[in-house]
């Protein structure tokens, strides 16, 4: 017998999360140099110099365990967000907070609701604890927000067995969003026996679009958990640090299942220092917002349809040849993200990089279309 077969059924049947192709892997496979990675929605401008300096300083104490309470970071977040310290749960990236929510609130016999084309981690964390995922159909192609969350369908899917609803707004991988008032009405309609997880990983990229600040809703909805990350706009993806903000009683449950020292000392120091450099983040975000408009216009002029987005990426319709186009871009030294694992085999997701990186992608895309 293969000893792996001893794993519980819900784990053995899991399809693991597949991250974007690393630069080093493409170099090994094809010998390509001067690679541009536009696959994982990272901030191409990286972290603040303040964060880099703090991380270097933290290395001197790398022989010590981190502060398991994350005291400095939690207090700075609480002051910035206008919440109490006991409302915050730190995670090894926001993915870790999603795992904690599933561990604390789901089990066999309970259900979690999420939309078609929602973030791939939701079904993974639900299945890993033996709960049942309930997937609601996304909005249709004729909608003003094609592939977006159908909040009415999600509300109808809630039953007495539902314990968690996951809503990413803006959503990954589509970039779509529900207007703030519509989303607030949805949260208000959810019965109190259900935890609403509002995933705001791309919150900073709103850029004037009608995106909610879910943290301002916490006082009205004690069953709401808002999840954010330092991986995107703050440029700290490699550190793995995110956080959830919730009612203190919910945070207490999450902290019961949270592993000790789940955020490293270097990550704690870098994230805390990053909060002091709002100008760095604002500049990176403003470029991303301007570029998503420009690149979408350029693609439209080429006859390539894009899905409306409030993130730092574009979901583009590449047609039946999406896999072939993805591989051709790899040979040109450009890594984008195929999304067939989201049941979107004709689409590619393209992170918005620097102006120069985006121009290189657009040039390569033009060449593919005329080849």
pTM, entire model: 0.94
* Alpha carbon distance 191, 172 (integer Å): 26
C-alpha dist (Å) from residue 292 to 148, 286, 352, 356, 363: 18, 10, 7, 13, 16
pLDDT for 74 equals 98
Cα–Cα distance measured from residue 356 to residue 10, given in angstroms and rounded to the nearest whole number: 45
Judge whether residue 324 has pLDDT over 80.
yes
Q: What is the pLDDT of residues 203-245, one digit of tens each?
A: 999 999 999 999 999 999 999 999 999 999 999 999 999 999 9
Tokens of 370: 């005329």
pLDDT of 14: 66
Distances (CA, A) of 273 to 47, 78, 108, 110: 10, 14, 41, 40
Answer yes or no: is pLDDT of 188 > 80.
yes
Helix (H) or strand (E) holding 59: helix 49-59
Q: Would you place residue 104 in the very low, low, confident or very high pLDDT band (cuts 50, 70, 90)?
A: very high
pLDDT in tens, 236-259: 999 999 999 999 999 999 999 999
Q: What is the pLDDT of residues 53-63, one digit of tens each?
A: 999 999 999 99
Residues 189-193: what's their mean pLDDT?
98
CA 112, CA 122: separation in Å to the nearest integer?
9
The per-residue pLDDT for 29 is: 79
Angle, alpha carbons 302-335-369 (nearest 5°): 25
pLDDT at position 143, please? 93
With a cut of 80, say whether residue 65 has pLDDT above it: yes
Domains and CATH numbers, the chain: 19-41+278-370 (3.90.1150.10), 49-274 (3.40.640.10)
Which of 2-6, 213-217, 259-263, 279-283 shows the lowest mean pLDDT across its residues? 2-6
| Contact status, residue 43 vs residue 232, Cβ threshold 8 Å | yes
Task: Please write the tens of the pLDDT for every residue from 131-159.
Answer: 999 999 999 988 999 999 999 999 999 99
- CA 249 to CA 87: how far, in whole Å? 8
Which one has a higher pLDDT value, 3 or 314?
314
């Amino acid at each position: 017998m293969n000893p792996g077969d001893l794993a519980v059924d819900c784990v053995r049947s899991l399809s693991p999360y597949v991250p974007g192709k690393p630069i080093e892997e493409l170099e090994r496979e094809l010998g390509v140099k001067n690679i541009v990675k536009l696959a994982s929605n990272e901030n191409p401008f990286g972290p603040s110099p303040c964060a880099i300096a703090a991380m270097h300083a933290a290395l001197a104490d790398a022989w010590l365990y981190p502060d398991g309470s994350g005291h400095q970071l939690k207090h700075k977040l609480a002051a910035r967000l206008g919440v109490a310290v006991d409302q915050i749960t730190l995670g090894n990236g926001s993915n870790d907070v999603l795992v904690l929510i599933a561990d604390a609130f789901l089990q066999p016999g309970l259900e979690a609701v999420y939309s078609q084309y929602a973030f791939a981690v939701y079904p993974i964390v639900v299945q890993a604890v033996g709960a049942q995922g309930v997937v609601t159909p996304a909005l249709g192609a004729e909608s003003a927000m094609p592939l977006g969350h159908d909040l009415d369908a999600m509300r109808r899917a809630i039953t007495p067995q539902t314990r968690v609803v996951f809503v990413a707004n803006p959503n990954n991988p589509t970039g779509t969003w529900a207007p703030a008032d519509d989303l607030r009405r949805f949260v208000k309609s959810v019965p109190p026996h259900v935890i609403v997880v509002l995933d705001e990983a791309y919150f900073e990229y709103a850029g004037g679009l009608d995106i909610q600040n879910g943290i301002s809703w916490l006082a009205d909805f004690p069953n709401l958990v808002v999840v954010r990350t330092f991986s995107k706009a703050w440029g700290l993806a490699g550190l793995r640090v995110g956080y959830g903000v919730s009612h203190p009683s919910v945070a207490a449950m999450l902290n019961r299942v949270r592993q000790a020292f789940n955020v490293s000392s270097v990550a704690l120091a870098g994230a805390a220092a990053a909060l002091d450099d709002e100008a760095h983040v604002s500049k990176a975000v403003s470029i991303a917002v301007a570029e998503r408009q420009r690149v979408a216009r350029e693609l439209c002029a080429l006859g390539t349809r894009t899905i409306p987005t409030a993130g730092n990426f574009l979901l583009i319709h590449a047609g039946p040849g999406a896999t072939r186009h993805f591989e051709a871009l790899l040979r040109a030294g450009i890594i984008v993200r195929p999304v067939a694992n989201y049941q979107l085999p004709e689409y590619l997701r393209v992170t918005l990089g620097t102006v120069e990186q985006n121009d290189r992608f657009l040039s390569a895309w033009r060449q593919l279309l005329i080849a």
